[in-house]
Each structure stands twice: as structure tokens, then as C-alpha cells.
Amino acid sequence: MAGVDGSLSAAPPSPTQSLEKQFDVFKAQLEESGTLRERIRHVVSEIESTTRVMYASLLLVHQSRPTPELLEKAKSQIDVLKGKYNQLAEILGEHPGQYYRYHGDWRSETQTVVSLLTLMHWLETGSLLEHNDAQEKLGLNGPEFSLDIEDYLVGVCFMSNELPRYVVNQVTAGDYDCSRKVLKFLTDLHAAFRMLNLRNDFLRKKFDGMKYDLRKVEEVYYDVKIRGLSSNGESVGDQGIEG
């Protein structure tokens, strides 16, 4: 087709050509995303393997095995986890602004990691591992890659699920004061969670489950108290979950 100056101008692309060009772009983007996701999943798989080793050690606390020995074995894996999260940070660093697009690929594993770290910390200190300290242990305190607050909170809820079983086994082994200590901790933790305005989502469901953990521990505590087995009569706030 001749232009106004007599030269030939290129014909506009046909609808078929435009469609093919668009889908060529889609293909390239999907292939790049798939490659990135495979790299992420490889690291996440190694994180999962590490948490299994840690959990296998910590399960033995329910058998009244010496806690320091078990904790040392589990704590030896923390540096391994930190290295894996550093790998994830490096991978995501190559694709700025994509954190929440791929966050779901390691969310569940991170919640499990938090639950193990908080359980270990509680067994050592009787207190809750704070969010900033958990980030520090995992090296997740960078501006582009951090420990999501909801993942931390869900992990704390998972940790509370382990405490009723721990209490039952400790009391059975003769540690009658354990129920008082755990009840005090869970009562305070439940009260702290009640300060949050939680939506009706997974975190809310996990928090709702915490009251059942608290109730189970209360039952053990009151049974010990009624039988006169408690080593002291210190009150933990008998309001419990009713309060």
C-alpha cells in the first residue's frame, strides 16, 4: 500500500499475528515463573526435611527424656534453617517485588518452623519467643524478605497444640507442678491473642483451637489440685478461658 509520498507502508499485523505475539509473551512469562517456583520448591523441600529432624527430636520430650539433650539436637538444625532461608532470600532478590506472589510456596513450612522454635524456647525459658527474635534466628530480618506476622502467629498456635500432651505426660511422670506453669502460660497467651481483631480465616480458626488446648490443661491442673498433688497452692488465675 502506497503512502502519501509514494513509498510502501507496512501492512498492520493480522489478528492472528497479534494473538500469537501476545501468547508468545505469556509463554515466556509462565516459563520464567515456573523455573523460579521450582527453585523455591527445591529449597522449601530441604526446609521441610530439616523440620522433620527437629520434630523427631522434640517429640521425645513427651516421653520425659532429658530436655537439654533433646534441645541441643534440635537447636543444631537452626543454622541449617537459617541457611535455607538465606537461599530463598537470594532467589527472591533476583525478582524484586515478587515476595507475596510466591509466599504461599513456603508459608506452611515456615509456620511449622515457628512452632518448633517457640516450643524449644518455651521448654528452655517458660516464655514465648518473640517475633523479632524468631526473625533473627532465621535471618529473616531483611527489608525484602521477613517473617510474615500471620505465619508467626499461626506457628504460635501450632505450638500451643503440643502443650496439653506435654502436660499429661509430665504429670504422669510425677511433675505435678507442670500443669500450673503451662496453664499460666496458655492463659496469658490466650489473653494476648484476644487483643487482636482477627478475621474469619485460618488464623482465626487456629486461635479458636487454642481455647481447647487451654481447657485440656485446665482439666489436668484442677485434677492435680483436687487430688492435693500440686507442689504449691499458687494461683494461676482460676478464671482461665472463662475470664
Phi-psi region of 127 (alpha: psi -120 to 50; beta: other; left: phi over 0): beta
Question: Looking at the predicted structure, is the pLDDT value of residue 70 above 90?
Answer: no
Q: Can you tell me which residue has the cell 504461599?
A: 104
pTM over 0.75: yes
Question: Looking at the predicted structure, is the pLDDT value of residue 2 above 60?
Answer: no
Assign 100 a pLDDT band (cuts: 50, 70, 90): confident
pLDDT in tens, 208-243: 999 999 999 999 999 998 888 765 544 444 444 443
pLDDT of residue 230: 65
pLDDT in tens, 181-206: 999 999 999 999 999 988 878 999 99
How much of the chain exceeds pLDDT 70, in percent? Answer: 88
Question: Looking at the predicted structure, is the pLDDT value of residue 86 above 50?
Answer: yes
- CATH value of 162-243 in 1.10.3720.10, 1.20.58.200, 3.90.110.10, 3.30.70.100: 1.20.58.200
For the chain, domain boundaries:
22-147, 162-243
For domain 22-147, give the fold: Methane Monooxygenase Hydroxylase; Chain G, domain 1 (1.20.58)
- Per-residue pLDDT, averaged over 98-108, amounts to 91
Question: Looking at the predicted structure, is the pLDDT value of residue 4 above 60?
Answer: no
Fold: same for 22-147 and 162-243: yes
